[in-house]
Amino acid sequence: MNDKSRRPLQIPSWHIPYMEKHRMYELFHELGRELVIQQPEDHVSFMKQILFNTYQNRDNARVVIISPPRTNCDKLAFRISAVTKQVVITKAKMEQFAKSAKAALKPSQVARIIAKLVRKDDAYKQGWILVNCLKNEAEAKALIKAGILPTHCLFLVSRFYPPIDELKYCDVPIGWPECRRQLLALRNVFKHILVEVHLKQLTPEEVGNNCIEIIKCRKGKISITPRVVLLGPRGSGRKTQGRLLAKTMNVVHIDFEYLLCQVWTAESDISYQLRSCKERVCYHSELLVQMLNKRILEEECLKNGWVLTGFPFSKADLMFLDCVDTPPNRIIFLECDLKVCRERATYNRINIDTGSGVNILDKAQSKGKN
């Protein structure tokens, strides 16, 4: 083992996108979690088995569906399964598996039965959908304690029941107050992966398609360093949103126009090359990206992440930007009415002494009101 205090280890910058793309951080998290839960005698063999299983089923979705009474979840689950090829585990299937039990099942017994069902070959390799198998908070917590961790929890919101966050006892179906308490407890257990699906006036096909789209999107277990590019027409508020993101997420805001001015006036090799291009500097994508790459490889940007505004200008710029050591992992397009953008660009003014911006139209209107 290496002593971090004597020999600090740092991941090379060009390894970061590879590790994020192939979810290596997630893999290490899963290995550590399974070692703690299973506590095997032979750690090496156990880790080999985990890696083999991860290769087979890492991208499979594991879904829990929660709904109020009298909602046909089974039919919806089989509709989803017809597309995703997941194994559907219903309450009837679980009861059939445990038909030898004479008394009511304890939460730990429910968790063991579900664990056996989801670890069968077909469910393990293709993923599974758990429908109406969990009745209360104790069973949900026992399931998680047994190491069965869903990737998605779909809560079906029926229009025939009052909103679940509304405490209501009059004019409600029989048994709703108790059912509401159980549903709230289940929602709280799975709150980090919970997504509400509103049934409204949708057809079964539309609800199924909505659920499939939700299942396709997986939330990462390990947060990644944000590297964001904001794109949009001039006047759409890119810089404003960039500053707000930087303040909210504690990332570095890179204003490309300001960065270009800084490098242009500096004394370095790339500054000389930029100045030699004169007014055609914006057509030299390789130089602009080289300048930007030097900025985003600074320790502050590598550690906290960054949000870029004012670049790229063209497809060529974006292609060069995608080839740097730490390319953007999020590109956000800001949609704005072009008339509004034009109005903002026309009436915006910059104070040359302070660098602050002001909209003279808003200023005139505020003076008129006063």
For the residues 280-300, what does the mean pLDDT come to? 90
275 lies in the same domain as 128:
no
Assessment of whether the complete model's pTM goes beyond 0.75: no
Query: What tokens were used for 167?
Result: 């405490």
201 lies in the same domain as 78:
yes
**129 half-sphere exposure, CB direction, 13 A CA radius:** 24
Q: If pLDDT is split at 50, 70 and 90, which confidence band does 350 have? A: confident
Q: If pLDDT is split at 50, 70 and 90, which confidence band does 243 have? A: very high
For the residues 4-28, what does the mean pLDDT come to? 78
66 lies in the same domain as 165:
yes
Say which residue, 312 or 201, is predicted with more confidence.
Answer: 312
What are the pLDDT digits (tens) for 159-186? Answer: 777 777 666 655 556 666 777 888 888 9
pLDDT at residue 354 greater than cutoff 50: yes
Q: If pLDDT is split at 50, 70 and 90, which confidence band does 1 have? A: very low
- Write out the residue range of the structural domain in which residue 237 sits: 227-334
Instruction: Report yes or no on 208 lying in a domain.
Output: yes
Strand 194-198 and strand 152-157: the pairing is parallel
91 lies in the same domain as 162:
yes
DSSP secondary-structure letter at 174? Answer: T
Instruction: Report yes or no on 236 lying in a domain.
Output: yes
pLDDT at residue 133 greater than cutoff 60: yes
Say which residue, 102 or 109, is predicted with more confidence.
Answer: 109
Write the CA distances from 24 to 20, 38, 126, 221, 222, integer angstroms.
6, 21, 21, 11, 10
The answer to whether the peptide bond before residue 12 is cis (omega within 30 degrees of 0) is: no
CA–CA separation, 321 and 249 (whole Å): 22
Q: If pLDDT is split at 50, 70 and 90, which confidence band does 368 have? A: low
CA–CA separation, 250 and 266 (whole Å): 27
pLDDT at residue 326 greater than cutoff 80: yes
149 lies in the same domain as 289:
no
pLDDT at residue 21 greater than cutoff 50: yes
Number of domains comprising the chain: 2
Write the CA distances from 240 to 31, 188, 297, 307, 352, integer angstroms.
41, 35, 24, 12, 18
For residue 66, the tally of other CB atoms under 10 A from its CB is 22
For the residues 235-252, what does the mean pLDDT come to? 92
246 lies in the same domain as 321:
yes
